[in-house]
């Protein structure tokens, strides 16, 4: 299906009662959620990458208090952190998407990833296995969240978390900030700074790429950079809102809030530089360098 068709369908669902639920069902039947275990494996790769970044800056997960921005459909990363020994995770989302069936299916899927979790946590596989087994004994989603010390807040605004000041060791997001308006990101950064302990970290893994390219293989991961804002509004929608910010803008929002950025990694999806060579880039992106336009992900850590 052409990406424009998907964009118009999602825009239509914006105005449909139950549109979020319908979009989720379409994703499960036709989209990227068809392969449940494959999606969990991708999130496990993200978590492993993040654990590597945290190790590089000497962050200890064991006993830490963590805040997640953007829970999504499955609490994969919160569960990985608590299985690795985190003390608690408070996770916030603007839409309530978690349900018992999918979350308990996630527990089953995590079984095969115990060696990875144990290795990154510096724990024995038996210890992680025992934690997972205890979670799987839960009779309800509420019991599971209680046992795992995961606080699920949705619908909720992460800019007003209600968490105590100077109480959190790590704030993180994964594939979230690219879907958030810049002014909201600014508020999230300020709230993160408030709740973090002195020396606490904010880690964000951002996919600054055209997400329609995951669906329509005929376009590049920077396809959306050719459109001026008024044109892009036709295809943008609240169900998969894309802010099109480039790497320096995400990093600037962190530094403007008061963070010291201590780590930054970027990646360019294969074929993107070649696509950029023939792309007519919209004037609003003219101030960015070739590398800044081509970067399709950025992972960065800020310190309070």
- Looking at residue 262, what is its pLDDT? 98
Helix axes 76-83, 125-136, angle to 10 degrees: 130
Q: What is the pTM of this model?
A: 0.92
Compute mean pLDDT per 10 residues along the chain, 304 residues long, and list them.
77 66 58 78 97 97 98 95 98 94 96 97 96 98 98 98 98 98 98 98 98 92 97 89 98 98 97 96 97 98 98
175: left (phi over 0), alpha (psi -120 to 50) or beta: left
- Looking at residue 59, what is its pLDDT? 98
- Looking at residue 17, what is its pLDDT? 67
- Looking at residue 2, what is its pLDDT? 86
Instruction: Please report, for residues 40, 127, 250, 298, the alpha-carbon distance to residue 146 in angstroms, rounded to integers and kept in the order given.
Output: 22, 19, 34, 33
Q: Within the chain, what is the greatest distance between any pair of CA atoms?
A: 56
- Looking at residue 270, what is its pLDDT? 95
Q: Which long-range contacts (CB under 8 A, 24 or more apart) does 100-103 make?
A: 100/140, 100/141, 102/36, 102/73, 102/74, 103/74, 103/75, 103/141, 103/144
């Amino acid at each position: 299906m052409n990406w424009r068709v998907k964009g118009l369908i999602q825009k239509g669902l914006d105005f449909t009662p139950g549109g979020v639920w319908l979009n989720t069902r379409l994703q499960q039947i036709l989209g990227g959620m068809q392969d449940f275990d494959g999606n969990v494996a991708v999130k496990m790769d993200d978590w492993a990458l993040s654990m590597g970044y945290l190790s590089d800056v000497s962050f200890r997960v064991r006993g830490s208090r963590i805040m997640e921005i953007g829970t999504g459909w499955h609490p994969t990363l919160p569960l990985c952190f608590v299985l690795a020994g985190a003390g608690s995770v408070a996770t916030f989302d603007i839409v309530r998407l978690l349900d018992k069936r999918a979350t308990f299916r996630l527990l089953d899927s995590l079984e095969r990833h115990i060696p990875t979790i144990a290795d990154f946590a510096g724990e024995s596989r038996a210890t992680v296995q025992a934690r997972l087994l205890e979670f799987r004994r839960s009779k309800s989603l509420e019991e599971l969240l209680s046992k795992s010390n995961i606080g699920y807040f949705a619908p909720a605004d992460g800019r007003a978390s209600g968490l105590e000041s100077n109480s959190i060791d790590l704030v993180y997001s994964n594939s979230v900030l690219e879907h958030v308006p810049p002014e909201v990101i600014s508020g999230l950064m300020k709230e993160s700074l408030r709740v973090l302990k002195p020396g606490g970290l904010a880690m964000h893994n951002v996919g600054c790429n055209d997400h329609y390219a995951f669906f329509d293989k005929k376009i590049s991961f920077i396809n959306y950079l050719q459109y001026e804002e008024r044109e892009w509004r036709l295809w943008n929608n609240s169900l998969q809102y894309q802010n099109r910010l480039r790497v320096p803008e995400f990093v600037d929002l962190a530094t403007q809030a008061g963070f010291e950025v201590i780590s930054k990694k970027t990646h360019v999806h294969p074929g993107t530089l070649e696509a950029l060579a023939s792309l007519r880039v919209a004037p609003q992106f003219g101030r960015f360098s070739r590398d800044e336009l081509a970067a399709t992900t950025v992972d960065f850590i800020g310190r309070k």
